[in-house]
Amino acid sequence: MRLRVLGSNGTYPTPGQPCSGYLVEAGGTRIMLDAGPGTVAAWQEADPAGHLDALVVTHAHPDHCSDVFHLFNLLRFGPNSRSGLPALAPDGVAAALAAFLGVGEDHAFHRVFAWRTVAPGDSVQVGEAALAFAATQHQLPTLGVSVSVPGRRLVYSADTGPGGGLPALAAGADLLLCEATLQGEGADGGWPYHLSAAQAGTLAREAGVGRLLLTHLAPMLDPARSAAEAAATFGGPVQWAAPGMEVEV
């Protein structure tokens, strides 16, 4: 299994730094996790043939889903047009996106994407990949995602505070792709819906994961400092999820 980082900025994109979006290759299966601004262009660069088996949208905040609109137009009008792409999301996400477009159920938006609602505790098989979902601690319904093939497992935190179902979902994962929005002394207090780098490291240690990859850093932060703060509490290998990075899970 291989992970390619399409983008990893938290909150807003900056030049050369799209927001959250990741391409997971599990055998012959390719799944896009989130579609933040800038990620569809990065996906086209990574895979000009446009091979995609499913889209997962973890929640309806725009830094995780606004490129769904561009993916829709690409799949509808682009050189590799198609319909029926499985799109998995929490309840209400598809309706919210359709409402933004101002379209009804008979619109092509609901033909290009085959929307499926997923909930905490659900499991879905997509080609060679087994997906599982857990609720995270965030302002609106948000799902952490586990992607596994026999012998290897990746867990993506989406957005989360220190509670929720992520610690149980991440237990024993080979790689934890974890948000680390905050940094520095005092970052652990007063932010119930995001993690600091140190908290991400603690969570990874307590969950017994093999490696930690930090994502969703606030754009003004130094990734090297975040990685150092997470390493101090994790005690295992830590990297920042730089756009374009490819990681064997």
Read off the pLDDT of residues 97-141 as tens digits, 9 standing for 90 and up.
999 999 999 999 999 999 999 999 999 999 999 999 999 999 999
Q: What is the pLDDT of residue 77?
A: 96
Distance of alpha carbon 74 from alpha carbon 190, whole angstroms: 40
DSSP letter assigned to residue 78: S
pLDDT in tens, 154-171: 999 999 999 899 999 999
The mean pLDDT of 220-247, rounded to a whole number, is 98
**Residues 95, 12: Cα–Cα separation, whole Å:** 23
**pLDDT tens sequence across 169-227:** 999 999 999 999 999 876 666 689 999 999 999 999 999 999 999 999 999 999 999 99
Take residue 196 and report the two structure tokens written for it.
């600091």
Q: Which residues of 112-125 are buried (b: 16+ CB within 10 A; e: fewer)?
A: bbebeebebeeebe
Percent of the chain exceeding pLDDT 70 equals: 98
CATH architecture type of domain 2-248: 4-Layer Sandwich (3.60)
Tokens 């520095």 belong to residue: 184
Helices (H) and strands (E) in the chain, counts: 8, 14
- pLDDT per residue as tens digits for the range 3-54: 999 999 999 999 999 999 999 999 899 999 999 999 999 999 999 989 999 9
Within 13 Å of residue 98, how many CA atoms lie on the same side as its CB?
Answer: 17
Q: What share of the chain is helix, strand, coil (3-state, %, to 5)?
A: 25, 30, 45
Helices 197-207 and 223-234, interaxial angle, to 10°?
A: 30
User: What is the value of pTM for the model shown?
Assistant: 0.97
